[in-house]
């Protein structure tokens, strides 16, 4: 079953109460307009291009060279960077602090007053500057956007660029986040990172930023950061991959035992780096894990003792990093749509010329001139279908609402002979949503000037956000396990940021709302506030049978396998009649991460299953053969904090456990060599067996002291 948020037949145009009117009115109602409470700061644009342009590369060996001489790659007519300026400052949604720097926000995670950090102002990128960003690569675009937000006092420009380059070098494709046309559907593939999930984009960056800021504190070698995170599946492995081996950083990841896929769990527990610690929380949901995290941040003594940092999307740096791929996807889809439109126009013109030539025998020159002129391409004739210089490509009835037949301003005026700058059409994004961080990034991208029409909140049966956008009731309910586990969430922790903006950036009102919700589990907002939310969002709930049907239809019709979460996003867009050239569906994870769970529910032949499994990435197929390490603890903040303290204070024991595990590997390898090198390997076997026994005993003792049981496998 698909349930939408009362949007009517056309999900986009009917999604918001009071969202009608032309595109200019909608832009005025968006967050990016000053009347919403933001102090907008448009970046200055220099007319002089930088000299000695530097082309970015994705190779590991290029960042060291480019770190000495910072010369951004700019075409003469391309994006010009603003002059050095102070970065954006931040405040808590609950009003407890203001004028917080980017470094303090990243390292602090959660605000001391239990609120989330939000920018006090956002840079606005005007349309003429957006035009210059159209051809930028992902790295160039990320560098441009982040330089508007991150000031040189936090990260100098040359260092920021190197951090971004390093954060993308482990992606398997040059584009980082390529856009693919699958049938009529635009799919933004966000699963080409190290852990095959969209969270790699942000967490590779966050891990490097953590290490960078810790290196700035090298005058105090005793300062070590403890990063604590909760995961419903993908965040954990992405955080671990982004932080493994980082200097002066330890990472602890909590996950609900039995509520993540087997691949997701093994992606976490097979990482044996000494600074990585996986905690399976017994009899818990993701929300229970999230609650433990928040309790740790609210414990001032514990927070300061371990120098606690956050890796979940409550950390603003994650949201900022995700803003970049909305811009990137928009420009890539825009370019491909325009190419398709030009090709169609050329075909129409060719057909028209052929038709005119076939009928010349009885047509006077004057009549012929009128016939050919009325179908002008827009370059000279000014026809309403746009053309090379006639504004945005015209759209039919299937185009974006309020497009006026040719983008937001309806293309250029016909038959005037004047040349107007091309207006950029609006696009919508369908976002599989759990914790709301990804959708919030789209909201901020729109605030910064990206022409976004609607952000579609696609949920599974755990639909607290869909219910809010349907009737204004943000009511907590019990979580039900589904085949899309990363969306099995009762409370969306990032939603507080949106509520803050819906409250008119009034921290007192927001605090009142959140205290009511924390006390009762219910928050109901008045109709005017709901109407304000619907100006930017629509929502749709997709039940499991529809999700599976979508996966099967894509596999049958397009030979393209979606992961369950991505299938929810596509099904939601289809349910709201939004699968067209102006909607992009986010593919948030590789299907191989959920293969065992989903294939048993799809009516596919054995041969098809084998073919699909053969196409899965080697990294995922080999997980079954790797050793794992984790600890299981009760769903209690007390026990988790105690375990963290004991682990950090017992570094020698941790090193011993790692060594003993390696001894176990030597024993397993040597077992097959005893025939040839009996004497040598008998010693290794003896040491390994003794070491493993001692390791299990030490792990059990330490975990028992923390209230849980150690697991070495």
Percentage of the chain beyond pLDDT 70 is: 69
Angle at 489 between CA 484 and CA 492, to 5 degrees: 125
- Residue 596: its pLDDT value, please? 84
Percentage of the chain beyond pLDDT 90 is: 61
**Per-residue tokens: 607:** 């041969």
Rounded to whole angstroms, the Cα distance separating 524 from 113 reads 23
Rounded to whole angstroms, the Cα distance separating 353 from 364 reads 16
Report yes or no on 157 lying in a domain: no
Q: How far is CA 131 from CA 50, 135, 424, in A?
A: 18, 9, 8
Rounded to whole angstroms, the Cα distance separating 606 from 592 reads 17
Q: To the nearest whole number, what is the mean pLDDT of the chain?
A: 78
**Per-residue tokens: 431:** 């976002």
Rounded to whole angstroms, the Cα distance separating 102 from 315 reads 11
* Contacts (Cβ under 8 Å, ≥6 apart) of 711: 280, 628, 629, 630, 631, 632, 699
337: part of which helix (H) or strand (E)?
helix 316-358
- Residue 449: its pLDDT value, please? 97
- Residue 62: its pLDDT value, please? 33
Split into its structural domains, the chain has a count of 1
Q: How far is CA 328 from CA 176, 449, 632, in A?
A: 10, 13, 41
Report yes or no on 676 lying in a domain: yes
pLDDT band at residue 277 under the 50/70/90 scheme: very high
- Residue 8: its pLDDT value, please? 39
- Residue 614: its pLDDT value, please? 83
Give the mean model confidence (pLDDT) for residues 376-399. 33
Residue 248, pLDDT > 80, answer: yes
| Three-state secondary-structure class, residue 572 | helix
> Among this protein's residues, is 199 annotated catalytic?
yes
Give the mean model confidence (pLDDT) for residues 523-548. 98
Q: Rg (Cα) of the chain, in Å, rounded?
A: 27
Q: Choose between 689 and 430: higher pLDDT.
A: 430
pLDDT band at residue 16 under the 50/70/90 scheme: very low
Give the mean model confidence (pLDDT) for residues 138-150. 97
559-580, pLDDT tens digit by residue?
999 999 999 999 999 999 999 9
Q: Choose between 665 and 449: higher pLDDT.
A: 449
Report yes or no on 55 lying in a domain: no
Give the mean model confidence (pLDDT) for residues 536-557. 97
Report yes or no on 60 lying in a domain: no
Token pair 């290029």 is found at 62
Residue 665, pLDDT > 90, answer: no
Rounded to whole angstroms, the Cα distance separating 546 from 551 reads 9
Return the exposure string of 392-428: e unless at least 16 CB atoms fall within 10 Å of the residue's CB, then b.
Answer: bbbbeeebbbbbbbbbbbbbbeeeeeeeeebbbbbbb
Hey, how many other C-beta atoms are within 10 angstroms of the C-beta on 17?
A: 15
Report yes or no on 705 lying in a domain: yes
156-203, pLDDT tens digit by residue?
999 999 999 999 999 999 999 999 999 999 999 999 999 999 999 999
Residue 52, pLDDT > 50, answer: no
- Residue 360: its pLDDT value, please? 53
Range scoring the smallest mean pLDDT among 12-21, 77-86, 112-121, 540-549: 12-21
**Per-residue tokens: 115:** 């609120």
Whether the Cβ atoms of residue 5 and residue 547 lie closer than 8 Å to each other: no
Hey, how many other C-beta atoms are within 10 angstroms of the C-beta on 550?
A: 24
* Contacts (Cβ under 8 Å, ≥6 apart) of 65: none
Classify 378 in phi/psi space as left (phi over 0), alpha (psi -120 to 50) or beta.
Answer: left
- Residue 684: its pLDDT value, please? 58
651: part of which helix (H) or strand (E)?
helix 651-670
Active-site position among 199, 446, 454, 574: 199
Q: Choose between 359 and 707: higher pLDDT.
A: 359
Report yes or no on 691 lying in a domain: yes
pLDDT band at residue 210 under the 50/70/90 scheme: very high
Give the mean model confidence (pLDDT) for residues 10-37. 36
- Residue 400: its pLDDT value, please? 28
Give the mean model confidence (pLDDT) for residues 364-386. 34
In the 8-state DSSP scheme, what is residue 463? -
Report yes or no on 667 lying in a domain: yes
Range scoring the smallest mean pLDDT among 218-222, 456-460, 660-664: 660-664
Residue 660, pLDDT > 70, answer: no
- Residue 76: its pLDDT value, please? 35
Whether the Cβ atoms of residue 266 and residue 253 lie closer than 8 Å to each other: no
Report yes or no on 707 lying in a domain: yes
* Contacts (Cβ under 8 Å, ≥6 apart) of 612: 561, 595, 599, 604
**Per-residue tokens: 641:** 């904090």
Rounded to whole angstroms, the Cα distance separating 511 from 175 reads 41
Q: How far is CA 498 from CA 264, 346, 369, in A?
A: 29, 45, 57
Rounded to whole angstroms, the Cα distance separating 11 from 578 reads 7
- Residue 351: its pLDDT value, please? 83
Strand order in the sheet with 629-633: 308-310, 225-230, 249-256, 276-281, 629-633, 709-712
Q: What is the span of the domain harbouring residue 684?
A: 652-712
599-651, pLDDT tens digit by residue?
889 998 877 888 888 888 999 989 999 999 999 999 999 999 999 999 998 75
β 308-310/276-281 pair status: unpaired
Rounded to whole angstroms, the Cα distance separating 463 from 5 reads 11
Token pair 């990172």 is found at 193
Rounded to whole angstroms, the Cα distance separating 402 from 421 reads 19
Residue 2, pLDDT > 80, answer: no
Q: Which of 130, 666, 65, 105 shows the shortest CA–CA distance to 449?
A: 130
Distance from the Cα of residue 153 to its chain's centroid:
26
Range scoring the smallest mean pLDDT among 398-407, 503-512, 619-628: 398-407
As beta bridge partners, residue 583 has: 428
């Amino acid at each position: 079953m698909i349930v939408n948020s009362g949007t009517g037949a056309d999900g986009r145009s009917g999604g918001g109460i009071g969202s009608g009117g032309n595109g200019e009115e909608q832009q005025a109602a968006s967050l990016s307009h000053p009347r919403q409470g933001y102090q907008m700061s448009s970046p200055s644009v220099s007319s002089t291009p930088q000299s000695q342009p530097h082309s970015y590369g994705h190779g590991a060996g290029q960042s060291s060279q480019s770190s000495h001489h910072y010369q951004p790659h700019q075409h003469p007519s391309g994006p010009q960077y603003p002059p050095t300026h102070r970065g954006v400052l931040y405040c808590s949604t609950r009003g407890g602090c203001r004028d917080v720097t980017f470094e303090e926000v990243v390292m602090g995670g959660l605000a001391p007053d239990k609120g989330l950090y939000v920018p006090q102002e956002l840079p606005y990128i005007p349309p003429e500057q957006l035009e210059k960003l159209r051809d930028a690569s992902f790295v160039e675009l990320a560098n441009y956007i982040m330089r508007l937000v991150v000031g040189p006092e936090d990260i100098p420009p040359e260092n920021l660029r190197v951090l971004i380059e390093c954060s993308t070098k482990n992606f398997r494709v040059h584009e980082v986040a390529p856009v693919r046309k699958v049938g009529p559907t635009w799919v933004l593939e966000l699963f080409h990172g190290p852990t095959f999930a969209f969270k790699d984009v942000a967490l590779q960056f966050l891990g490097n930023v953590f290490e960078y800021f810790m290196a700035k504190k090298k005058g105090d070698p005793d300062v070590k950061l403890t990063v604590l995170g909760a995961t419903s599946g993908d965040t954990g492995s992405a955080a671990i991959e982004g932080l493994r081996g980082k200097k002066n950083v330890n990472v602890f990841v909590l996950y609900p035992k039995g509520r993540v896929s087997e691949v997701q769990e093994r992606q976490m527990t097979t990482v044996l780096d000494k600074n990585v610690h996986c905690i399976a929380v017994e009899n818990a949901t993701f929300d229970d894990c999230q609650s433990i995290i928040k309790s740790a941040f609210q414990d001032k003594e514990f927070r300061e003792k371990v120098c606690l940092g956050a890796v979940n999307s409550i950390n603003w740096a994650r949201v900022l990093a995700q803003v970049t791929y909305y811009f990137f996807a928009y420009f890539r889809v825009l370019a491909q749509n325009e190419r398709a439109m030009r090709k169609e126009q050329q075909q129409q013109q060719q057909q028209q010329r052929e038709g005119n030539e076939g009928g010349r025998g009885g047509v006077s020159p004057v009549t012929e001139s009128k016939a050919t002129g009325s179908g002008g391409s827009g370059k000279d004739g000014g026809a309403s279908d746009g053309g090379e210089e006639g504004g945005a490509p015209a759209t039919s009835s299937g185009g974006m609402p309020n497009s006026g037949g040719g983008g937001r301003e309806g293309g250029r005026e016909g038959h005037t002979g004047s040349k107007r700058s091309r207006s950029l059409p609006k696009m919508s994004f369908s976002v599989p949503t759990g914790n709301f961080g990804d959708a919030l990034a789209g909201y901020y991208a729109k605030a910064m000037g990206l022409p976004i029409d609607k952000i579609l909140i696609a949920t599974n049966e755990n639909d607290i956000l869909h219910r809010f956008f349907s009737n204004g009731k943000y009511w907590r309910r019990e979580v039900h396990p589904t085949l899309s586990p990363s969306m099995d969430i009762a409370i969306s922790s990032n939603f507080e940021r949106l509520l803050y903006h819906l409250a008119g950036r009034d921290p007192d009102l927001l605090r009142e709302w959140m205290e009511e919700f924390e006390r009762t589990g219910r928050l109901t907002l008045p109709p005017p506030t709901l109407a304000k939310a619907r100006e930017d969002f629509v929502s749709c709930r997709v039940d499991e049978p529809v999700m599976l049907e979508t996966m099967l239809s894509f596999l049958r019709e397009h030979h393209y396998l979606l992961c369950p979460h991505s299938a929810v996003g596509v099904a939601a867009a289809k349910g709201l009649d939004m699968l067209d050239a102006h909607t992009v569906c986010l593919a948030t994870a590789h299907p191989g991460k959920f293969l065992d769970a989903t294939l048993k529910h799809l009516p596919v032949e054995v041969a098809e299953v084998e073919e699909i499994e053969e196409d899965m990435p080697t990294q995922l197929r080999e997980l079954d053969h790797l050793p794992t390490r984790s600890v299981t603890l009760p769903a209690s903040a007390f026990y988790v904090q105690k375990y963290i303290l004991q682990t950090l204070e017992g570094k020698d024991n941790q090193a011993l456990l790692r060594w003993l595990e390696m001894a176990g590997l030597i024993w397993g390898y040597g077992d097959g060599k005893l025939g040839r090198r009996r004497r040598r390997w008998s010693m290794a076997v003896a040491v390994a067996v003794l070491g493993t026994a001692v390791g299990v005993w030490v792990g059990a003792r330490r975990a028992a002291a923390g209230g849980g049981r150690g697991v070495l496998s």
